[in-house]
Amino acid sequence: MSASDEELLLQLALKQRQARRSGRTLIITVAAAVACAVVGWAVLFQLRPLIKSIPLLPLGSVTTALLWIGIVAFAAAALLVAGGWAFARPGKPWGKEMPGVCPRCENLTLREALVEVEKRDGAGLNVGPKGIVILCDTRRCEYTSVKVTTRTRA
């Protein structure tokens, strides 16, 4: 086990925890949902009536396709909002709760997660390290523990 594998896993875990606390993931998800809703609204309520108003144009399959595109865009927006609410909430803590007391601050706030660093080789296989990272969830406590389960492959 090299120290660099432990450092990589710890840096990634801290980055994931900070991203969850900041709410950036939820903001990006909601922005994507708004974009899908705007596309759905534009197709259903702007483009489709405009095309229907053109005289002497056979419209059966075109308007039906536009109707389905608009419905799919609204459904994608709804799924993004539901997924953001379920998985990207800033109030949801990083990792899963771990029994035990933090050795540094003596609070019952230890959390653990399996972390995998994405590193690709020439064949596209992941060769990055994988391991279990334990962090204390107390704001000012900086207790960390890393156990590498799969080292970086050369």
- Answering whether pTM is above 0.75, one says no
**Alpha carbon separation from 8 to 67, 79, 148 (Å, rounded):** 48, 33, 10
Asked whether residue 102 falls in the same domain as residue 56, the answer is: no
Asked whether residue 18 falls in the same domain as residue 28, the answer is: no
User: Which of these three, 69, 87, 105, is where a domain ends?
Assistant: 87
Contact (CB, 8 A) for 112 and 95? yes
Asked whether residue 28 falls in the same domain as residue 78, the answer is: yes
Asked whether residue 76 falls in the same domain as residue 107, the answer is: no
Average pLDDT over residues 97-118: 90
Asked whether residue 102 falls in the same domain as residue 81, the answer is: no
Provide the domain count of the chain.
Answer: 2
Asked whether residue 82 falls in the same domain as residue 54, the answer is: yes
Asked whether residue 130 falls in the same domain as residue 99, the answer is: yes
User: Which of these three, 87, 112, 134, is where a domain ends?
Assistant: 87
User: Which of these three, 87, 105, 138, is where a domain ends?
Assistant: 87
Where is pLDDT greater, at 121 or 79?
79
- Bridge partner residues of 53 (DSSP): none
Confidence at 154, pLDDT banded by 50, 70, 90: low
Residue 137 structural domain: 3-22+92-150
Asked whether residue 63 falls in the same domain as residue 73, the answer is: yes
Q: What is the pLDDT of residue 1?
A: 47
How far apart are the C-alpha atoms of 81 and 98, rounded to whole Å? Answer: 29
pLDDT, tens only, 51-86 = 888 887 777 888 889 999 999 999 999 999 999 888
